[in-house]
Structure 1
Amino acid sequence: MTPRIRAGRPYLYEGHEWDFDTLSGIYEAIEEVAHVELGLRTFANRIEVISAEQMLDAYASTGMPLMYNHWSFGKHFLRNETLYRKGWQSLAFEIVINSDPCLVYVMEENSATMQAIVLAHAAFGHNHFFRNNYLFRQWTDPTAILDYLAFAKKYVATCEERHGQEAVERLLDAAHALTSHGIHRYKGKQKADLSLEERREQERQDYRAAVFNDLWRTVPKRRESRERSSRARRRALLGLPEENILYFLENAAPRLVPWQREILRIVRTLAQYFYPQRQTKLMNEGCATFVHHRILPRLHERGQITDGAFMEYLHAHTNAVTQPNFDDPRFTGLNPYALGLAMMLDIERICTEPEEEDRAVFPDIAGCGDAYGVLRDAWANYRDESFIAQFLSPRLIRQLRLFQVVGDSAEGDLVVSAIHDERGYVQVRRALARQYDVSRQDPDIQIVDVDLVGDRELLLRHEVTNGIALDAGNAGRVLAHLANLWGYPVRLEETSHERVLETHEAQPTHPFGDQ
């Protein structure tokens, strides 16, 4: 495909101004490089130009084009708007939605060069990653997410009309408090078919009502019957242990009525949609940054953008990949753009100009000559943790001056346990990979039992890892929401090697039910 350039103009654009014809020409030029030279496979793109206020609105609703109403979204909007108007916070230059077609929002305030950057970054970099990475293919349904968002928005609005805004918002408050515990993490739990959600909503309600009634009608009523209701049988009946708390409540909470169960399902379905993004933040941004870092210089080499545009690109790109030092006031950890791009460029170097050390550590790819092929395979088959564990090279560890520090909270001393040398790089790489393991960031909390014949107390267990216990205040507030959703007492035990370290309890104060 030959990029469309206006007659009589040697460049795709000149200066900062742009119109929609200019944007179309920029898009076509980028598309040629992305598909032909980089070999990217993307969904079709739908580009929408929005204002700063619309970008703030998208921020508030977790970046989605459609979202049900909730007070927290308005709070986020007001906060971000205030910071933006006072000049204390900038806005993203784009937002990209994992959908088919891929929906890309670009700011109308962007210069022509910035539009070129964000189109390369989002419309082709993020787009390729969404389409090809195994986590997104396994857990998300890009062809139906926009229709499902429309269904969710309409359903919540209908519930507000029928049951009152206060009742719906209180339910959403409780569900949002448990969002991080509304995730299926293993392949055995298949992704929802979002295209059938609206049609099957009534069928789902009827089925749940029948199963739910059978479950609780057969619960032994007399105290002496407890022995016959063995723990193993009870756990099998309820599908315990269960780590997806919202899923369990949706299917087994005694007092919830059908519309409340459906709203829990909406919240957890959207939480599941975002789960792959949490596991691939480094790779996703690294992929998109690498793509724009290869496309914009290529446009300059082909004489399609001016030297001034290229300098503007370099300035914006450098700001995005800046990595402050640990003692810099701006330091908040490793910049995913910086580390992601550094790893992508290092893989490219290993494939094309390997050193002896690279041949020893990466014998399968060192000197293969197909850097883009190796990168496309990595983008498709890894997540952040495994990507770092597989591809972080000793040379890059030395270049970034990474080292491992361990400490004992009781002693208060810090010890440098590994540095960027031949003996320590494996340990440094393993330690860094673990920091990107979502399973290590989220507490391991599971529902393990229910007292079916007594006070119907729900028992949860948190397996303490590395001595990190739950914050008592936060645990108490979340358990209060859980108790109201369950309708009966809840108890959370923090354990280590089957020894109970701490117990948290909550009673329902305003249980949900037929309101």
Structure 2
Amino acid sequence: MTLLLDAPSGPLYTGADWDYDKVRKVYDAIEQVGVKEMGLDIYTNQIEVITSEQMLDAYSSIGMPLLYKHWSFGKHFARDEVLYRKGLRGLAYEIVINSNPCISYIMEENTMTMQALVIAHAAFGHNHFFKNNYLFRQWTDADGILDYLSFAKEYISKCEERYGLALVERVLDAAHALMNHGVHRYPRRRGLDLRLEQQRSRERQEHAERTFNDLWRTVPSKAGGPSPLSDRDRRRALLELPEENVLYFLEKKAPRLQGWQREILRIVRHVAQYFYPQRQTKVMNEGCATYCHYRILHTLHERGQLTDGAWLEALHSHTNVVFQPEFDDPRYGGMNPYALGFAMMQDIERIATNPTAEDREWFPDLAGSGDGMVALKDAWANYRDESFILQYLSPAMIRKFRLFHVKDDHREPELRVQAIHDERGYREVRQALARQYDIAWAEADIQIVDVDLTGDRRLLMEHRVMNQVVLEEEETRAVIQHLADLWGYEVVLEEVDAASGARLKKHTVGPRTVLGGTFG
């Protein structure tokens, strides 16, 4: 007996207009290719159709439509709306949330072909990357993020009703200014369950109410004798200093903040931690999603399930996304993560299935392994942008993009081309490009190093300066001002040369307003 498989009976749709039946039909076909043939491992999908105005609103809230309200989101909405209405910028075709179920927002203004491309890109490409990459598995809680965002929105709304919009906004302003310095860069514990944060919040409040007794404030301290915190090393050990997570330290140690203000810092900190993996995987994440949508739609076209017109429309949008301007092009703004990521994914597949002699020399374990998807899924699971480029950027890719390394030394009057795409320059170019995606190299290393809570309570911080590049004066003082307002006392930031230890610059800022209550 011969088993006959149903062959595609023709195009999944014709024309530009879409409806929900067509979307369901296309989704099923994409799932067949993506999951059953390519082996993508995804969360359950939830597709939401929204208007362009709702997409702008999602833009404004840093890609999180369920996030709490803040005036800065409205400012971003107004700016983006004006640019969009004047035709000066377009909108993203989709927004996808790293959650379980994985929510993909698609615009109702899209054509049917664009809906197909978006579903393949977001609901399968990004979805697979979110579920399998080690950074997302280590740092984010896809099962609990939606419940936590709902809790955060409700909690901040109640704070606005109880304490006033102005005070809550000042706390959020300060927390947002410090957001990039509100993450743990090294794992402290695994399995943070955001779904339990609402319960933990209630328990913290109930514990504070049970244990608070104002009479303790009137008990006199012992006269004379050395303070147990007089020794700087002991004090730093008790406070677990140095500490690079500024929001965490303020949440736990700021002497004047009230409980609800600490909870807001905790909320902003959890949101910042949620985005931490995304900041380190832009090239890989977009490269994975772009590779997936291209391969899936190409497969559907080869089988006659997409018309030639639909495939050309998809190629047009795809080509625009992966366009990389030359360095001397007025449109150049650095490496396009879509272009670099997609090209590297295709290159890995080529090396695995059809390697050259050069590939065998540079990638002896990968070259000729035979299965491109196995190699790609291994890369998607185990690397971030910096290590991915260091591991997989091939000489062929360096030549294709015509990459070269420019040395910019502030002590020299001219720039110097340090390495080009040739035998002597491949490794140096690869290392220089990878370093641009290293957060430790690209972002300022700022840590809290000391504070005497029994003395003047002045907060001491250090910036470890790389290559003599100090912080911009005006912006630094504005950020430290927010920090001082939360701390309630003077904040000092010293910029120290990481190599020599020399003191290069000092910033001192006192609190402008006291956001918390009176200490004592």
| Matched residue, 1:116 | 116
Paired residues for 1:153-232 under 5 Å: 153-190=153-190, 192-205=192-205, 225=226, 229-232=230-233
**How many angstroms does 1:188 deviate by?**
2.4
**Which deviations, in whole Å up to 9, do the C-alpha atoms of 1:376-401 show, x marking residues without a partner?**
00000000000000000011111111
Letter in 2 for 1:510: T
Following the alignment from structure 2 to structure 1, what is the Cα–Cα distance between the partners of residues 217 and 111?
Answer: 62
**Which deviations, in whole Å up to 9, do the C-alpha atoms of 1:1-59 show, x marking residues without a partner?**
x9998xxx721000101110000000000000001221100001000111001101111
**How many angstroms does 1:512 deviate by?**
1.4
Q: Secondary structure at the match of 1:447?
A: strand
Following the alignment from structure 1 to structure 2, what is the Cα–Cα distance between the partners of residues 467 and 506?
Answer: 23
Following the alignment from structure 2 to structure 1, what is the Cα–Cα distance between the partners of residues 94 and 229?
Answer: 60
Letter in 2 for 1:232: D
1:63 aligns with 2:66: no
Q: TM-score, normalised by structure 1?
A: 0.95
Q: Secondary structure at the match of 1:225?
A: coil
Bigger shift: residues 380-389 or 180-189: 180-189
Following the alignment from structure 2 to structure 1, what is the Cα–Cα distance between the partners of residues 218 and 249?
Answer: 18
Bigger shift: residues 62-71 or 293-302: 62-71
Q: Aligned match of 1:504 in 503, 507, 510? A: 507
Q: Aligned match of 1:513 in 491, 502, 516? A: 516
Following the alignment from structure 2 to structure 1, what is the Cα–Cα distance between the partners of residues 48 and 512?
Answer: 46
| CA spacing shift, 1:151–1:228, aligned 2, 3 Å | closer
**How many angstroms does 1:223 deviate by?**
9.0
**How many angstroms does 1:468 deviate by?**
1.2
Paired residues for 1:29-428 under 5 Å: 29-190=29-190, 192-205=192-205, 225=226, 229-428=230-429
Following the alignment from structure 2 to structure 1, what is the Cα–Cα distance between the partners of residues 342 and 213?
Answer: 51
Following the alignment from structure 2 to structure 1, what is the Cα–Cα distance between the partners of residues 221 and 392?
Answer: 56
Q: Which runs of 5+ in 1 are unaligned?
A: none
Do the aligned partners of 2:57 and 2:65 also contact (CA within 8 Å) in 1?
no
Q: CA RMSD in A?
A: 2.3
Do the aligned partners of 1:392 and 1:429 also contact (CA within 8 Å) in 2?
yes
Do the aligned partners of 2:136 and 2:277 also contact (CA within 8 Å) in 1?
yes
Aligned residues: 510
**How many angstroms does 1:419 deviate by?**
1.3
Letter in 2 for 1:397: I
Q: Secondary structure at the match of 1:14?
A: coil
| CA spacing shift, 1:457–1:36, aligned 2, 3 Å | same
| CA spacing shift, 1:251–1:4, aligned 2, 3 Å | farther
| CA spacing shift, 1:197–1:40, aligned 2, 3 Å | same
Following the alignment from structure 2 to structure 1, what is the Cα–Cα distance between the partners of residues 229 and 368?
Answer: 67
**Which deviations, in whole Å up to 9, do the C-alpha atoms of 1:117-159 show, x marking residues without a partner?**
0010000000000000000000000111111010000000000
Q: Secondary structure at the match of 2:96?
A: strand
Bigger shift: residues 286-295 or 412-421: 412-421
Following the alignment from structure 2 to structure 1, what is the Cα–Cα distance between the partners of residues 218 and 464?
Answer: 33
| CA spacing shift, 1:218–1:116, aligned 2, 3 Å | farther
Q: Percent identity?
A: 61
Q: Secondary structure at the match of 2:493?
A: strand
Do the aligned partners of 1:93 and 1:118 also contact (CA within 8 Å) in 2?
yes
Following the alignment from structure 1 to structure 2, what is the Cα–Cα distance between the partners of residues 179 and 32?
Answer: 41
Q: Secondary structure at the match of 1:64?
A: coil
Letter in 2 for 1:302: R
Following the alignment from structure 2 to structure 1, what is the Cα–Cα distance between the partners of residues 496 and 189?
Answer: 26
Letter in 1 for 2:251: E
**Which deviations, in whole Å up to 9, do the C-alpha atoms of 1:390-421 show, x marking residues without a partner?**
00001111111111110221322111111111
| CA spacing shift, 1:283–1:208, aligned 2, 3 Å | farther
Do the aligned partners of 2:69 and 2:153 also contact (CA within 8 Å) in 1?
yes
Q: TM-score, normalised by structure 2?
A: 0.94
Do the aligned partners of 2:229 and 2:454 also contact (CA within 8 Å) in 1?
no
| CA spacing shift, 1:182–1:100, aligned 2, 3 Å | same
Following the alignment from structure 1 to structure 2, what is the Cα–Cα distance between the partners of residues 103 and 332?
Answer: 30
Following the alignment from structure 2 to structure 1, what is the Cα–Cα distance between the partners of residues 410 and 357?
Answer: 41
**How many angstroms does 1:326 deviate by?**
1.0
Following the alignment from structure 2 to structure 1, what is the Cα–Cα distance between the partners of residues 25 and 6?
Answer: 6
Q: Which runs of 5+ in 2 are unaligned?
A: none
Bigger shift: residues 189-198 or 34-43: 189-198
Following the alignment from structure 2 to structure 1, what is the Cα–Cα distance between the partners of residues 492 and 220?
Answer: 21
Following the alignment from structure 2 to structure 1, what is the Cα–Cα distance between the partners of residues 224 and 463?
Answer: 29
| CA spacing shift, 1:432–1:61, aligned 2, 3 Å | same
| CA spacing shift, 1:11–1:461, aligned 2, 3 Å | same
| Matched residue, 1:433 | 434
Following the alignment from structure 1 to structure 2, what is the Cα–Cα distance between the partners of residues 356 and 421?
Answer: 16
| CA spacing shift, 1:358–1:507, aligned 2, 3 Å | same
Following the alignment from structure 1 to structure 2, what is the Cα–Cα distance between the partners of residues 267 and 212?
Answer: 30
| Matched residue, 2:24 | 24
| CA spacing shift, 1:401–1:514, aligned 2, 3 Å | same
**Which deviations, in whole Å up to 9, do the C-alpha atoms of 1:449-494 show, x marking residues without a partner?**
0023321100000000111111111111111111110111110010
